[in-house]
Structure 1
Amino acid sequence: MGSQLEGAMETLINVFHHYSGKEGDKYKLSKKELKELLQSELGCFLETQKDAGAVEKIMQDLDENGDGEVDFQEFVVLVAALTVACNTFFWENA
């Protein structure tokens, strides 16, 4: 068995690919796939968002190359940003 970090990396990869490719490019998330991923995997985060266009804004922020889809590298940026934002909360409440 690998380390905790290796397990976390594997989980991140598996989660991305579980949702990607249901429509269009199998290595990218469409807006619909991203929304499904966010609702299923980060539902508590989205519940706190009062903005009905939150997924649209997240999509625009992540889609660096403007192709209307989120690739794995763009997805990792989201996870890293959320991890940084949550670091203090989780560390102090552990």
Structure 2
Amino acid sequence: MAEAPILRASWALTPPYDAKDGRLFRQPHESLNAARHRVIAMKVAAMLEPLDGLPVSAYERDVLSWVGSWETHTIAVFAALLRRARQAPPA
């Protein structure tokens, strides 16, 4: 089943977007720096998942890491668009 478009700012990187994903917030045992790095890694993974099987250069990964510092709702939209594009039949 195809993923539906995101209609408003999301609380998660994957469906259901309106459910708050607690993993995207600092955990009680984490320093701010550790939480930031962990969340960026989650965001990068969400964008890389639909690219599975495609070559991704080190430079492209660096750019995704930079984009990963953007807000969760922005990354969710990018990742959702990539997933839907990958699922779409060829034009």
When normalised by structure 2's length, the TM-score is 0.45
- Which is richer in helix? 1
When normalised by structure 1's length, the TM-score is 0.45
Structure with higher RCO (Cα < 8 A, 6+ apart): 2
